[in-house]
């Protein structure tokens, strides 16, 4: 299976996000990322707390060959990573204008030599809202990340072999990750329940919002989605 878009070039950074399944552009680091995704993210895990793959989204994206990645050489600071995230946003918007936005696209920026992982947390916190407002998600991943899992507080799904920041489509099961802010919830309802009146969506968002410690409380919030599969 192939995709019509093999390379996405950032207009500001010049970085190239290569389709991980493009046989014409072999990249050793891409092969390693793909192998890890297949062998870990698409498989069940004893500590996950639920049946199924560690990351159902990636399983779907791999099936459809809709993963692009860029590999940044050297260390980066917050402004440099923010520039890359700017490009990720524009490219992701572009992807959704040329294909069905519900398809599981993902753009991955890998910064293997990043010396300070708080840079990823900083940029993620600053830019998440921009992505959520468009029906996208922005995720942070790095070695040693201790954010708890949705189904098991002692499982750490964001602890990955390499520092990465990832943009993807929002899924129905992302609700627990958006409950901390009413504007995020409004974006969620706009994405998945657009036929509801705007006033009702806003009321639901305000009523559901939990302004507590979103990270610490994440495991308890899995009850909001039950055992429903990601869509």
Quote the tokens at residue 25: 């552009």
pLDDT of residue 24: 79
pLDDT of residue 224: 74
Q: Which residues pair with 107 in a beta bridge?
A: 68, 167
Provide the pairing of β-strand 67-71 with 7-9.
unpaired
More confident residue, 129 or 220: 129
Rounded to whole angstroms, the maximal C-alpha distance in the chain is 51
pLDDT of residue 227: 65
Query: Which secondary-structure segment (H or E) carries 165?
Result: strand 164-169
Instruction: Determine the average pLDDT of the residues in 160-182.
Output: 95
Length of the chain: 231
- The yes-or-no verdict on residue 30 having pLDDT over 90 is yes
The per-residue pLDDT for range 75-128, each reduced to its tens digit, is: 999 999 999 999 999 999 998 888 766 678 899 999 999 999 999 999 999 999
CA distance 158 to 147: 7
pLDDT of residue 1: 43
The answer to whether 105 touches 66, Cβ cutoff 8 Å, is yes
- The yes-or-no verdict on residue 214 having pLDDT over 80 is no
Residue with tokens 């870990």: 40
pTM score, two decimals?
Answer: 0.92
Q: Where are the domains of the chain?
A: 7-171
Instruction: Determine the average pLDDT of the residues in 44-49.
Output: 94
pLDDT of residue 197: 96
pLDDT of residue 104: 82
Quote the tokens at residue 231: 């869509």
φ, ψ for residue 204 (rounded to 5)?
A: -60, -40
pLDDT of residue 228: 66
Give the burial class of 187: count Cβ atoms within 10 A of its Cβ; 0-12 exposed, 13-18 middle, 19 or more buried: buried
Instruction: Determine the average pLDDT of the residues in 215-231.
Output: 69
**Beta-carbon contacts of residue 43 (< 8 Å; ≥ 6 apart):** 53, 54
Instruction: Determine the average pLDDT of the residues in 183-190.
Output: 96
Percent of the chain surpassing pLDDT 70:
91
More confident residue, 174 or 26: 174
- The yes-or-no verdict on residue 2 having pLDDT over 50 is no
Q: Three-class SS of residue 231?
A: coil
């Amino acid at each position: 299976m192939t995709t019509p878009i093999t390379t996405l070039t950032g207009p500001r950074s010049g970085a190239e996000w290569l389709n991980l399944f493009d046989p014409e552009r072999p990249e050793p680091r891409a092969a390693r990322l793909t192998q890890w995704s297949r062998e870990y993210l698409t498989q069940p895990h004893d500590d996950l707390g639920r049946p199924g793959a560690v990351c159902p989204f990636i399983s779907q994206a791999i099936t459809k060959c809709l993963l692009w990645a860029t590999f940044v050489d050297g260390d980066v600071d917050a402004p440099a990573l923010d520039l890359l995230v700017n490009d990720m946003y524009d490219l992701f918007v572009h992807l959704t204008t040329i294909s069905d936005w519900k398809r599981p696209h993902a753009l991955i920026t890998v910064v293997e030599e990043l010396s300070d992982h708080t840079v990823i947390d900083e940029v993620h916190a600053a830019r998440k809202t921009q992505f959520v407002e468009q029906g996208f998600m922005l995720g942070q991943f790095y070695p040693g990340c201790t954010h708890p899992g949705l189904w098991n507080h002692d499982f750490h799904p964001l602890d990955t072999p390499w520092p990465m920041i990832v943009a993807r489509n929002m899924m129905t099961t992302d609700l627990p990750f958006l409950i901390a802010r009413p504007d995020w919830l409004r974006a969620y309802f706009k994405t998945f329940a657009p036929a509801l009146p705007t006033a009702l969506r806003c009321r639901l968002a305000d009523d559901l919002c939990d302004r507590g410690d979103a990270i610490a409380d994440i495991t308890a919030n899995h009850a909001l989605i039950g055992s429903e599969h990601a869509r």
